[in-house]
Amino acid sequence: MNNSSFLRILLKFIIIWILQIVVLKQFQFWPVGTYHYEAFVYPLFILLLPVGIHINLMLIIAFVAGLIMDGAYNTLGVHAASSIFLAYCRNAFLSWVIPRGLDDNLIPSLKRLDFFPFLRYAALGLLAYLVFYYSMVFFSPVYFIDITIKTLLSFTVSIFFTLILAGVLNGLD
């Protein structure tokens, strides 16, 4: 990874972090019954890392990004654990969406994958992240229905904002 790609990754993280913390954390989405949900776009940062990044480096980046979100949301490692889970599963999601043998410097963005492959990739990643996140928040299978409903509600609003943000970040590729 050269300096310009590192700066692009850092700029993407700052933009995503500002949107997540300054804007989306402050939103109070209309509750559905007794269920309150939230939008998460920062998993997009992990999904937009280059294809050829080493798994150890990706896990460290995901851990640090999750810890930063934990600090902002005042959660104790839930975002860090969920980010690591997403980073670990990311290569499997990529293999379902893009063919093998692509350039290691490819960034799986909306611009480079086209809309539907990117939507499939982002939806898989975001859904895995949210299921793990809410499972860690509730931390009991007794709350299976709550986990499912909050995951689906958060997924719906999160994928909307994620696709908008992915379109905005196309210029950084």
Least confident of 1-10, 49-58, 130-139: 1-10
5 in a structural domain: no
pLDDT for 130: 96
- What does the alpha-carbon distance between residue 139 and residue 134 come to, in Å, rounded to a whole number? 8
How does pLDDT run across 19-69, given as a tens digit for each residue? 999 888 877 777 777 777 788 999 999 999 988 889 999 999 999 999 999
Residue 131 clears pLDDT 90, i.e. is over it: yes
150 in a structural domain: yes
Q: What is the mean pLDDT of residues 147-158?
A: 92
164 in a structural domain: yes
Decide: 108 and 121 in contact? Cβ < 8 Å: yes
144 in a structural domain: yes
85 in a structural domain: yes
Decide: 153 and 37 in contact? Cβ < 8 Å: yes
Q: What are the tokens at 31?
A: 């509750």
165 in a structural domain: yes
DSSP 110-164: HHHH-HHHHHHHHHHHHHHHHHHHHHHHH-SGGGHHHHHHHHHHHHHHHHHHHHH
- What does the alpha-carbon distance between residue 92 and residue 101 come to, in Å, rounded to a whole number? 14
Q: What is the mean pLDDT of residues 116-145?
A: 91
106 in a structural domain: yes
10 in a structural domain: no
Number of domains in the chain: 1
What range does the domain containing 50 cover? 42-172
How does pLDDT run across 71-127, given as a tens digit for each residue? 999 988 999 999 999 999 998 998 888 766 666 667 888 888 888 989 999 999 999
